[in-house]
Structure 1
């Protein structure tokens, strides 16, 4: 990069006269009151994602000012630009449907606007993977900044953290253990500050994974959103973004097969969100690196669970930060990691870990030789019900249900589930398997976090806390239970899950890593032949783009035309 191609001289609008293009751009830039001195500086773009529909990003205006301070102090011009923002609880039918839209928006705005490096400001579940996907495809030097987790609330002397505790109390409410006044008081105290969920849900999992990948300033994944250190981290991220200008520390040099394996190791040690498998697969697809669920199982067999956080444990993200955070976890996992991976600061992971030490809170982060569990938090299952795989979060499940055969109780859609799950005449027992169909990526619902099927009310009233649940949907990283997710191919694309009927026997074996529908091949072939033709509705706009091009969970639910694109290393 030369002075003639950096800053506002970069990527000039094409009027057929380069000098006129620069003259016009500078005149418009001066209308914003920026001095000529600053207009001659290199530019750090800031992908900025606040929204009135995204509570997790409520503090982003203050965070933005800290990033700008860092950029200015390091001698560059910070220019923020908005992109799509995905507030997890505010999107219909589900935020995953719009992750790819945000990734495209991020990529195109990085590529189209004049910047020499970019800070990615994200936090809420799908925003960080969307930004990493877009940044990888644009391949301009980029650094991620996360908003951080919220602090816990209080209810009658008990700590509350969204959203694991919201599910726990909602289960008690459905069972009749607590009344409307109590559940309303819990609602008022679940989410009391800005930031992402206070447990190891998808947002915190993705933040930690991003630090493991090397795309995040070390030690910053778990800083609470309202902590002063979060602002200091933002300022330092701005300085770091300036140091990236003209360097070869582009996302494709940092997100590699080896760093992705490190991220998977961390995911397993955290007992992190099942959603992270979909997001890591999509991110890897942008780097042209396949993620194999069979390789996930190999890593899971040799990666213990080290972190005692909800929903797999008992602590919260603020405790994790105070206990040493990701630095402590990476130091424990060191013998299992690829240490020569480049990180965003220019160090290798080995150099980073050599340079850091610190106190570790052992009630939160266990040593490698005395883990909380011997095997990783996630396991992939295969069989005739899931030929291309399914996922179970075993660290948050009931081990007594791991080797079990049960009778299927089938719900053909989310509407069918809502209509019948609490019917007192529903034919269901605690030994049955609840099966939800047509909730995968190719369904009209777009793969929502509906895999956490509620315990039927009549069973909940009997004290049943868990039951095997199977679907092609996802579940929140804050959820828990013996839940088989991401069954692939999904029912809507013709997968065998759509052939299951109530009364069928299904065999689950976590030890054998299998999920089998105990129905003969001949019977399944007859059912397949009897399936009605799929009448597709007329679609338009992004809905049509999504329906026509989304891949299955095994390919990260990205668009088929966005994966494994050759990188254009020139930002033009």
Structure 2
């Protein structure tokens, strides 16, 4: 990018706020002086917004108050003027009914915050599941130069000599506790040892999946998403983000030059190779549509069929966690392994191509980052199903479930709500066998509301005590990216709006045929037609506020669950407001 025509101070976006000799700009300058700044601090310098999704209830981002200082240091070193802009935190651990309800709110906030303030470029600080796609979606629509600063994974969990993976081992040991195999003291010990530092889940869950996707898309430095949150390298990377975003402003390196159709395809391939979270489907589609790229479930399934899983990281891998992945070379090393499958000519935030960024990347442990000749799983992490239960698609993670369920037929046990399901599965007298198919409905984008992570239905207590740890489960919900098991998710259209899942009854037989990507209920069409005519829509969840807006404008899972009025195809980006 060095040979390109560079911006000049008078062409900076912020100069519209500060440069004119008029009353409005007098007010802008005087208010910055009110904060203790001189004209030398901000006049003619790129103004960099640091969009920080920290809060005291977001443990994943507990280190961000310090990292803001590091970013500011980098911005100042490069001659820019940095301002921190607190953004909606959308923490995963505490937000109810689900953080997914607020991803689009964060995206709207980011877009409007950028558009309405004198920002020439932004550093996006995120990592906890919904913050990465929310920040990127909003910044893509706003269109100013941006760089993504990933929060990084927390340290490995540890208890009683066992290495623990956040999320994955929580589900594992909860089943053992329900079976009576974990004592109260052990449960407290596990609770204190499973998350030992700031940072996102250290499994390849949604958080690490999405930061890897942002990096593969060209929005972060090579290897940035793999650095543990509390590693000193994370401090240095944060300062580098500050320095680099200033140069990106002068180079006018805007997101549309980076997030292209080819870059999104790269991101999808990398996601498959990492053993990505099923949530990646929804977020990738949403981000792509914001960039004007029509990424579909069929595109993702095609890539899933041809991309081997080479990251041996839980839950799809068996042995390792993100800290091990970092020591083995990190995401840059993984991308180097599959370089022949990527479009390495894509531009990145460094001002260099992806291929240039990957020069010198090495794998230091081939059991953690496998060669293509020895993958963890011969196909990628995700598969997309079609059939009369999911005409618009459903998603499953084949590598994370027992292969015996790849071809399965059994009778359904259908639940209409999470409380109904929870009560039933804890009933030791429930009439259930390992061949049954558990089904939860009314848990999709509108039905949840907000598309909650209820898709990993617990194994019934009666089966747990018999030693069973997996069975086929189907829902229109999502599941945590740290989860595992034979779970079919994102059934579309969802049951709450009358999708076929709404017509299924307990006792109906359901067939999963993963090799042929089919999911069907074995019910005659005449019977389904009668059930369809008798179906009535449930009452709406909201009659006011953001929930009302969400329920009326959120798209279905196969379209990314963005708002219909925010997608690029809906009508293009809103024009920047005039300054009077």
Match of 1:63 among 49, 61, 67: 67
Deviation per residue, 1:283-320 (Å, 9 max, x gap): 01111211221121211121101010011122010000
1:30 to 28, 33, 37: 33
Unmatched runs of 5 consecutive residues or more in structure 2? 1-6
| In structure 1, C-alpha distance between the alignment counterparts of 2:545 and 2:131, rounded to whole Å | 21
Give yes or no for contact 2:201–2:208 (8 Å, CA) kept in 1.
yes
Mapping for residues 67-466 of structure 1, pairs under 5 Å: 67-313=71-317, 314-353=319-358, 355-466=359-470
Structure 1 portions without partners, runs of 5+: none
The Cα of 1:218 is off from its aligned counterpart by 1.1
Give the conservation status (yes or no) of the 8 Å contact 2:429–2:462: no
Distance 1:338 1:146, change over 3 A: same
* CA deviation map 1:183-235 (0-9, x unaligned): 11101111110010011010000111111000011111110000000000000
Mapped to 1, the partners of 2:537 and 2:299 lie a distance apart of 36
Shift of 1:31: 1.6
C-alpha change, 1:390 and 1:538, in structure 2 (3 Å) is closer
Aligned partners of 2:448, 2:404: CA distance in 1, in Å?
34
Specify the SS of the correspondent of 1:90: coil
1:49-96 CA distances to partner (integer Å, 9 max, x unpaired)? 110121111110110000001000000111111111111011110000
Contact 1:278–1:557 (8 Å) recurs in 2: yes
Cα RMSD between the aligned structures? 1.6
Deviations 1:463-491 (A, max 9, x none): 00100000000000000001000000000
Moved more, 208-217 or 538-547: 538-547
Change (3 A) 1:11 1:528: farther
| Whole-angstrom distance in 2 between the partners of 1:164 and 1:5 | 50
- What CA distance in whole angstroms lies between the structure 1 residues aligned with 2:148 and 2:509? 46
Does the 8 Å CA contact 1:9/1:22 hold for their aligned counterparts? no
The alpha-carbon deviation at position 506 of structure 1 amounts to: 0.5
Equivalent residue of 2:386, what SS? Answer: strand
- The 1:362–1:571 alpha-carbon spacing in structure 2 relative to 1, beyond 3 Å, is farther
Q: In structure 2, the residue corresponding to 1:221 is in which secondary structure? A: helix
For residues 497-517 of structure 1, give each alpha carbon's deviation from its aligned partner in whole angstroms, at most 9, with x where no partner exists.
Answer: 111101000000110111011
Distance 1:427 1:453 in 2: 16
Equivalent positions of 1:463-502 (< 5 A) are 463-502=467-506
Contact 1:198/1:316 (<8 A) preserved: yes
- Report the equivalent of 2:514: 510
* C-alpha displacement of 1:357: 3.1
SS of the aligned residue for 1:10 comes to: helix
**8 Å CA contact retained: 1:439, 1:445:** yes
Scaled by the length of structure 2, what TM-score is found?
0.95
Aligned partner of 1:10 among 11, 16, 19: 16
- 436-445 or 224-233, which deviates more: 436-445
> Structure 1 length normalisation: TM-score?
0.97
CA distance in 2, matches of 1:11, 1:132: 25
User: Is the Cα contact below 8 Å between 2:206 and 2:277 reproduced in 1?
Assistant: yes
Give the count of matched residue pairs: 568
User: Using the alignment, how far apart are the partners of 2:575 and 2:259 within structure 1?
Assistant: 15
Q: 1:294 to 1:18 in 2, by over 3 A?
A: same
- Kindly state the Cα deviation for residue 570 of structure 1 after the two structures are TM-superposed: 6.8
Contact 2:455–2:478 (8 Å) recurs in 1: yes
Which deviates further from its counterpart, 511-520 or 436-445? 436-445
Q: Distance in 2 between matches of 1:538 and 1:349?
A: 45
Residue 334 of structure 2 contacts residue 363 of structure 2 at CA under 8 Å; is this kept in 1?
Answer: no
